[in-house]
């Protein structure tokens, strides 16, 4: 039970952050939509971990919790990387952005898609090496 105890408190704080951000800032802006995504993912992962604790054996729960934590860290890093890139474009090329994509909602959609593309691109080396190592070890045993 000590293993899952933080999972019962984390969603409360994350929900307060999501609620405060939803009502406090304009999340249709690309920068804030990416930061909002950065709060939504750990909230969903924490809720998933709470349910997984009650539905699967403890060994599987540890695996699920590790995977969701790793994905949350990866999303967090990608969101802040995308935020830095968005800030750069808004500071240096603001006129160009508004000329090319005048609709802020479309800018937000592009920012979210860019964040997910970063996620999958940066996931390739993180998963590629362990998968290739696993194939190497399987081939070596045979």
Please answer whether residues 11 and 50 qualify as being in contact, where contact means their C-beta atoms are separated by less than 8 angstroms. yes
pTM: 0.80
| Residue 50, φ and ψ in degrees, nearest 5 | -60, -45
Residue 130: pLDDT band by 50, 70, 90 thresholds? confident
Query: Is residue 2 over pLDDT 80?
Result: no
Query: Is residue 4 over pLDDT 80?
Result: no
Query: Is residue 96 over pLDDT 80?
Result: yes
Give the residue with greater pLDDT, 134 vs 53.
53
- What is the rounded distance in angstroms from the CA atom of residue 122 to the CA atom of residue 112? 15
Buried/exposed 82-92: b ≥16 CB within 10 Å, e otherwise: bbeebeeeeee
Quick: pLDDT tens for 27-67: 888 999 999 999 999 999 999 998 988 899 988 888 888 88
In this structure, what DSSP letter does residue 1 have? -
Angstrom CA distances, 54 to 115, 122, 132, stand at: 32, 32, 33
- On average, the pLDDT of the chain sits at 87
Query: Is residue 104 over pLDDT 90?
Result: no
Angstrom CA distances, 57 to 5, 53, 114, stand at: 16, 7, 36
């Amino acid at each position: 039970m000590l293993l899952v105890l933080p999972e019962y408190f984390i969603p409360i704080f994350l929900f307060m952050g999501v609620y405060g951000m939803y009502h406090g800032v304009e999340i249709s802006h690309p920068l804030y939509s990416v930061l909002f995504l950065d709060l939504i993912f750990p909230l969903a992962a924490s809720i998933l971990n709470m349910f997984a604790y009650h539905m699967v054996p403890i060994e599987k729960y540890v695996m699920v919790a590790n995977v969701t934590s790793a994905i949350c860290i990866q999303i967090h890093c990608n969101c802040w990387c995308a935020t830095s890139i968005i800030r750069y474009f808004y500071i240096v090329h603001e006129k160009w952005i508004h000329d090319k994509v005048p609709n802020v909602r479309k800018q937000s959609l592009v920012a979210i898609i860019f964040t997910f593309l970063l996620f999958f691109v940066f996931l390739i080396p993180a998963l590629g090496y362990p998968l290739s190592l696993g194939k190497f070890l399987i081939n070596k045993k045979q």
